[in-house]
Structure 1
Amino acid sequence: MPTVAVDKEDLYQLLGRSYTTEEFDELCFEFGIELDEDTTNDCAKGERPQLKIEIPANRYDMLCIEGIAQALNEYLGRSSAPAYSLQPAVPQVTMTIKESTSTIRPYAAAAILRGIKFTQRSYDSFIALQDKLHTNLCRNRTLVAMGTHDLDTLEGPFTYEALPPSEITFIPLNQTKAMDGNQLMEFYEKDKNLGKYLHIIKDSPVFPVILDKNRNVASMPPIINSDRSKITLETTNVFLDITGTDKTKVAIVVNQLVAMFSRYCSTPFSIEPVNVVSEHNKETRVFPDIKPRLMQAEISYINSCLGLNLDVDTIIQLLKKMGLQPKQNESKNDLLDVYIPITRPDVLHQCDIMEDASIAYGYNNLVKTQAQSQA
């Protein structure tokens, strides 16, 4: 399970109260996560205490302090799931995927966060979430890679192409000298961080690249962004690019990024969509898709798995504590229509809905019974 280090004071402030280490450890246990370490007693002078929390590998929404606080506040009944919106509803920016990318990283998504306000710690969290996603869901960038850019340094529309490395020239992030694709491979070969990703594209005759209207390079995924478009604490408009070989995971990643950090936009939880045009493979789509997914779960199934006899209203309230939006089916009394938010791609089957109900009810509250053998 990935371990996420969060600022202790910031998290408790987001949760609306302070906890003793024992109290917070118990809260984590009840929710299904684990407090690995409280660094309060080990901090040097001037250091801020951290909580190191182990998160289930499929809870991508909890890989940052924002997601942990949101999930726990919903569980504690302090808040409900955010209502995400697209503003404007119709995309004003496009990114066109060229057919040349088909041989290397064929899928891409994009989104824009407008009027964002970073503090040093929220900026650090933004970067850390990308690192966690790259390591976990993205399988060290082999399946998906993401880039974040100061939109005010670029101009749409954008294109996502694959070009011979000799035709890609830009100043890479935090460098001062322009290099072409071949020079970049040589330059980063011994880099402890980026060197381990070079193999993903190194032997390809073409490298993927995202360009703006004026052919300025924004990024060469999955290796590095351009220094031109780097984000800083002063950045107010962020352009997100996500590319990969797995279409489903590309969509999950863009959803997680906007879900966690759109809270800092001038209109909280608003996202500007991007029309991603991919005519050659009929994959043209608007990103992000923020519509909740509809799934169904049988009330009798949930009760039978938990050994309970809960009424529909009680189960609905339990599922709301886990960030889901359930309601009773209009034609079948034993059926729940459960709307799954974009933060929860881990919910795939009614057994996952049942598991959320059991967490909200409390495993310690379940009655222990002896399994009955069948003759």
Structure 2
Amino acid sequence: MPTITTSYDDLTSLIGKEVTIEELSECLFLHKCLVESVVDDEVTIEVNADRPDMLSAEGIARALRLFMGLEGPRGYSAIRGPVKVKVDSSVLEVRPFILCAVVRGVKLSEEAVRQVMMLQEKLHLTYCRRRMKVSIGVHDLKAVGNEIIYAALPPSQIRFTPLDEVEEMSGDEILTKTEKGREYAHLLRGFQRYPLLYDSEGRVLSMPPIINGNLTRVSSSTTDILLDVTGVDMEAVSKVLNVMALNLAERGGVIESVEVAYPDRLLNSPFLSPIGVEVDLVEASKLIGIEVNVKEAEACLTKMGYFVEKVDDRSIRAWAPPYRCDILHAVDIIEDIAIGYGYDKLSPLIPPSTQVGKELEVTVFSSKIRELMIGFGFQEVLSYVLTSEEVLFHNMLLNPGSAVILENPVSRDYTCLRNWLLPLLLEFLSHNRHASLPQRIFECGDVVVIDEDKPTKTRMIRKIACAICDREVGYEDVQAVLYSLLRNLGFEEWSVEAEDHPSFIKGRVAWLVVKGSKVALLGEINPAVLSSFRLENPVAAFELDVSKLLELKRG
């Protein structure tokens, strides 16, 4: 959960009423927030991650004024302003979306500036996904003109003094010499051009999503603020702009719209229309546990900043304020009805249970397999689901196959998800070459395979793999273990089909078939594979599809 720090005096000033720490703590707790500590004038608050608008004192004060009945819901609008932004086609391949707003006549103190910067950074770290999805620029509008250009330029053509620096730098120098540049350089890696925001006279405002220019630094003397929000998701860009603009407006500012001219369309931002959602009050009553009628729902939602329209006796249409990024579904409105009503007024009930928890069938089946394998004299090992393509394919003499590959791995040893277990057993043996022989090991666990028919495009399969490493070991040794396992699991009939598999010795590998389905691959490991794992002794192994075997057992 994100935490913010605010001045108690500034917060109560924004609320417009003296509020004790106890009252503040109680009201915030009902909003799923928590006062963590109070040191002198500093209050540290853990904020509900669902409410990005409450990541600064302005948003918290607004929520508390509504909740305490000090004000009612407000409609929001922007007056037309003179600032225009032209979006050049060069930036569409790098960071394609930008929306802007001006907040004019803001009254800023040092604490207010701190809150604005904190809101910007907290949004960056949470809702904006560390600037990958959205990034925010806050500028002193009086430092630049009203005609602004958003384009992408080669790094060598970018020259400006970044925020908190004293000398001009090129685009590449910013990524290597500044703290923010080094932290977020990966967002521009691979691009030949970097986004740049500058006015008609060439004065640079920022290089999104990395850093602002020193020219437009905001201070306590700033009265007119330009907000630029860029990103790769237009909806997220719009929501973040609304949060920033409406929170700043709580400091006495007036919001002006900015004309944003794309190559193919013209927009005026911010978009401050309320968010309308129809709510079934029968469903609300069921979820909250109290009888909710239209009048009750309206009273509760008014305390949360909503306008409410009656649709009929069983439903309403609730209009959420435009700073509410978290409203996705009617259940979000129902939750706000509960908050407006007061969680402390709800009587807890133990839900009736008609079922008793139990282990999944595959878990019970796997436990039996583990017990049998231990009884056969094998030691169970556990390996990570994450592994590398080198282990799965290269060392096993296989062409790269279909595995789930990590887009941004942190280590070359963990670049994909395992799609079979046997390579991991061989890797385990390679790390234990010093141990005495024979080594008889097994692992029963899940693997992940590609399945385009599934919502996640993947499917998990339970498997067991077994390996015997000794000075002399052959196909018959591992076959005896597999046959004994099947008999003890209740299978009496199966057949064996010859197979040609690169990971095994030719002529010493086969599929075991049960009821027409191939369920296990067994054989003697190819010496070249052993060499890849630096194993000096022969290995015989099998890998059995437990999930498929369970399906066959069911009939």
Residue type at the aligned position of 1:81: P
| 1:149-228 pair list within 5 angstroms | 149-188=139-178, 191=179, 193-228=180-215
Residue type at the aligned position of 1:56: N
| Distance in 1 between residues matched to 2:176 and 2:225, nearest whole Å | 30
TM-superposed deviation, 1:370: 4.6
Aligned to 1:233: 220
Point out 4+ residue stretches in structure 1 off by more than 6 angstroms. Answer: none
Question: Aligned to 1:123, which of 96, 113, 122?
Answer: 113
Contact 2:95 2:230 in 1 (8 A): yes
Aligned alpha-carbon RMSD (Å): 1.9
Closer, same or farther in 2 for the Cα pair 1:183/1:13, shift >3 Å? closer
**Structure 2: which 5+ residue stretches go unaligned?**
356-555
Aligned to 1:320: 302
Aligned pair count reads: 354
| Distance in 2 between residues matched to 1:223 and 1:373, nearest whole Å | 52
Query: Percent of counterpart pairs with the same letter?
Result: 31
Contact 2:294 2:315 in 1 (8 A): no
**What's the TM-score, normalizing by structure 2?**
0.61
| Distance in 2 between residues matched to 1:23 and 1:151, nearest whole Å | 39
SS in 2 for 1:170: coil
- How big is each residue's C-alpha offset from its partner over 1:70-93, in whole Å with a ceiling of 9 and x where there is no partner? 1011111112234322123xx532
Question: Aligned to 1:309, which of 266, 275, 291?
Answer: 291
Q: Which has the larger radius of gyration?
A: 2
Question: Aligned to 1:273, which of 257, 271, 276?
Answer: 257
| Distance in 2 between residues matched to 1:262 and 1:249, nearest whole Å | 20
TM-superposed deviation, 1:186: 3.0
| Distance in 1 between residues matched to 2:228 and 2:184, nearest whole Å | 18
Contact 2:131 2:209 in 1 (8 A): yes
**What's the TM-score, normalizing by structure 1?**
0.89
TM-superposed deviation, 1:115: 1.7
1:92 paired to 2:56: no
| 1:257-296 pair list within 5 angstroms | 257-265=244-252, 268=253, 270-280=254-264, 282=265, 284-296=266-278
SS in 2 for 1:129: helix
Contact 1:185 1:202 in 2 (8 A): no
Residue type at the aligned position of 2:291: N
Aligned to 1:358: 338
SS in 1 for 2:250: helix
1:5 paired to 2:14: no
Contact 1:123 1:233 in 2 (8 A): yes
Greater RCO between the two (CA within 8 Å, min separation 6)?
1
SS in 1 for 2:28: helix
TM-superposed deviation, 1:371: 3.2
SS in 1 for 2:120: helix
SS in 1 for 2:86: strand
Residue type at the aligned position of 2:58: E
- How big is each residue's C-alpha offset from its partner over 1:140-179, in whole Å with a ceiling of 9 and x where there is no partner? 1111111111211211221110111111111222333222
Comparing 195-204 and 136-145, the one that deviates more: 195-204
- How big is each residue's C-alpha offset from its partner over 1:275-325, in whole Å with a ceiling of 9 and x where there is no partner? 111124x5x321100111211101222112222223311210101111111
| Distance in 2 between residues matched to 1:373 and 1:179, nearest whole Å | 65
| Distance in 2 between residues matched to 1:366 and 1:175, nearest whole Å | 54
| Distance in 2 between residues matched to 1:135 and 1:357, nearest whole Å | 29
Closer, same or farther in 2 for the Cα pair 1:203/1:73, shift >3 Å? same
Residue type at the aligned position of 1:131: E
Aligned to 1:52: 44
| Distance in 1 between residues matched to 2:223 and 2:11, nearest whole Å | 24
Closer, same or farther in 2 for the Cα pair 1:368/1:140, shift >3 Å? closer
- How big is each residue's C-alpha offset from its partner over 1:232-274, in whole Å with a ceiling of 9 and x where there is no partner? 2222211111111121111111101111011334xx4x31101
**Structure 1: which 5+ residue stretches go unaligned?**
41-48
